[in-house]
Structure 1
């Protein structure tokens, strides 16, 4: 699995300011609706339900909200760079500015886990995160995310 399997250019966005974790979840759902055709309301509900099990802020300014969505055919994602980090109840209590969200079909088992592993592993790379933070342009962010795999594979 690769980022190109999960993301498309219109699923990447820079957000200048967001007031709360809940507002960010709504922005994620709106982006998923626009880019992947997901219904925003049920997507918000699924993300909030997952967050109620435990926060998906994994530390170092990164959050990986994810949910299973009825009717979805494959695992898809969105990426948001926040220009102003927010509290996301992350494990290290640090504010979050890199938000990679994943949406999987209800029956997706191993594919969902592979996608989570890919994103988690990639966003633990300090150099990749620094590049993402230094480039507040959606097109550039998409290129950085999708080209990082090409370099590693070479």
Structure 2
């Protein structure tokens, strides 16, 4: 699986002035609606429900909010870079400025897990995150993500 299968150029956004985790999840919902045509309210509700199970802030300023959605037929993603980090209840208690939202059909099995692993491995690479943070342009961010070579799973 490659980022090109998960992410399209219009699903990448630099967001200004988000002040809370909830507002970031709403921004992700809005981006999913504009890029993939899935109702923003449904996406945001699914993300909030998933966060209630445990925070998806994985550390080092990165969050991987994800959910299963009715009405989609393939795994899809959106990428958000924040101009200012927000508290996300991350495992390391550090604020988040990089968020990759990942969405799968309700019945998705291994494809959802493969996509989550790809995104996780890629965004654990500090050099990739450094490049992302240094380039607040959506088309450049898209290119960086598509060119990234994630480390192989152990």
TM range (shorter): over 0.9
1:2 and 2:11 aligned: no
Aligned to 1:19: 19
1:94 and 2:83 aligned: no
Aligned to 1:104: 104
Aligned to 2:46: 46
d(CA) in 2 for partners of 1:32, 1:51: 17
C-alpha displacement of 1:17:
1.4
d(CA) in 1 for partners of 2:148, 2:119: 11
d(CA) in 1 for partners of 2:99, 2:42: 19
1:74 and 2:88 aligned: no
d(CA) in 2 for partners of 1:145, 1:39: 25
C-alpha displacement of 1:13:
0.2
TM-score, normalised to structure 1, is 0.96
d(CA) in 2 for partners of 1:142, 1:106: 27
Superposed CA deviations along residues 81-134 of structure 1, whole A, max 9, x for unmatched, are 001000000000000000000000000010000000000000000000000000
TM-score, normalised to structure 2, is 0.96
Q: Note the residue ranges of structure 2 that are not aligned, 5 or more in a row.
A: none
C-alpha displacement of 1:46:
0.5
Is the partner of 1:81 in helix, strand or coil?
A: strand
Aligned to 1:31: 31
Aligned to 1:127: 127
The CA RMSD measured in Å over matched residues stands at 1.4
Is the partner of 1:68 in helix, strand or coil?
A: strand
Segments ≥4 residues shifted beyond 6 Å: none
